Amino acid sequence: MRFSLQREVLLKPLQQVVNVVERRHTLPVLANLLLQVSDGRLAMTGTDLEVEMVARCAVDDAQDGDATVPARKLFEIVRALPDGSRVTVSFSGEKATVQAGRSRFSLATLPANDFPNIDELELVERVSLPESVLKELIERTAFGMAQQDVRYYLNGLLLDLRENLLRCVATDGHRLALCEAELPEGVKARKQIIVPRKGILELQRLLEGGDRTVELEVGRNHLRIHREDVTFTSKLIDGRFPDYDAVIPIGADKEVAVDRDALRAALQRAAILSNEKYRGVKLEFSPGQLRIIAHNPEQEEAQEELEAETQIDDLAIGFNVTYLLEALSSLREEKVLLLLRDANSSALLREASNDKTRHVVMPLRL
């Protein structure tokens, strides 16, 4: 087996696949990439048994075959080669040789038969959508996922396929992020799946945006995403996601419209003097005005005043400032709406002209 190609053509797919490979692994072969050459194309596969990535590119001077090579060593070698180098990889016995110009590297290989295969996908649903839409859905919600929560089903992102909508929802029990997009073709039946945190973080790296179509294949235990150059597969979390519709506040009749950038800047300044442990800030509302107050145990205080379109008279409510800032970062419009009920109820934050992205933040007692 052998193949040859430009360094830049090899580097990009190699970088995508090497991210999946765990630095700490139980099986030696999991530190390797599976390289397969067939019909003038190279397929590179990396896996940690939870997530699998297969990247493909065209190669020259190819002889068909398959083998595994150390993932990070190959990546570091290719990255360190000069721009414009032509890389030739050939295999003989239990060694792989990487050549570029006057550079030559010999790497140990392991048999391709030892490389684990993710189970065959039992297809339940297939949908297509633009890559930019999927990228936006994940970007606007992924930060809300829990980290190492004992409620394991919160350590991932919910994909809720319903009729002609795809919703992404994340919550850690203190806040919730939701974003939805229309599906051109719709789905046969409603389906909810939870993609684990690692799978979502790898997907965020992989998705580039643009109008290319990606295909989502939902199986009983896996999600597979196809793009012309990459196939990504992730195991699913086997659990039941909370009823998130019940968390979205109903009857939040007190409305505040405010400039997103001005609110974000004021919160960032106030956060400097907030309690480092609780990160609490108090929002005080009066007609036409929003005041932000932060205290810390050293008796220091920050106060910010902003113009706001509101008729609320005399309401004060505490929030974790980090949750508010992360929610604001995922909104795009200049003007945002804060919908409130009382000092003890969750707040709903969204863009002024639409509600396709919604954030629920629980209050904090200060």
Q: What does the alpha-carbon distance between residue 221 and residue 249 come to, in Å, rounded to a whole number?
A: 32
Q: What is the pLDDT of residue 80?
A: 97
pLDDT at position 122, please? Answer: 86
Could you give the number of structural domains in the chain?
3
User: 69, 88, 114 — which closes off a domain?
Assistant: 114
Is the Cβ–Cβ distance between 42 and 36 less than 8 Å?
yes
3-state secondary structure of 326: helix
* Amino acid letter, residue 172: D
Residue closest to 6 by CA, chosen among 78, 65, 66: 78
- pLDDT, one tens digit per residue, over 167-202 is 999 999 999 999 999 998 889 899 999 999 999 999
The amino acid sitting at 310 is T
> In CATH, what number is assigned to the domain containing residue 6?
3.10.150.10
In angstroms, the CA 30 to CA 42 distance is: 19
**324 neighbors 344 (Cβ within 8 angstroms):** no
Residues 29 and 75 in one domain: yes
What does the mean pLDDT of the chain come to?
95
pLDDT tens string 281-291: 999 999 999 99
Residues 354 and 254 in one domain: yes
Burial class (CB in 10 A: 0-12, 13-18, 19+), 96: buried
Residue 23 has a pLDDT of 82
Q: Is 294 in the same domain as 310?
A: yes
Residue range of the domain that includes 287: 248-361
Instruction: Compute φ and ψ for 297, nearest 5 degrees.
Output: -65, -15
Residue 187 token pair: 């789905």
**Helices in 37-193 by DSSP H: which ranges?**
71-80, 131-139
Query: What per-residue confidence (pLDDT) applies to 251?
Result: 84
Predicted pLDDT at 210: 87
**pLDDT value at position 188?**
87
* Residue 241, token pair as written in the block: 């996601």
| Residue 366 belongs to some domain of the structure | no
Among 210, 227, 245, residue at a domain's last position: 245
Task: Using 50 as the pLDDT threshold, list the residues of the chain that sit under it.
Answer: none
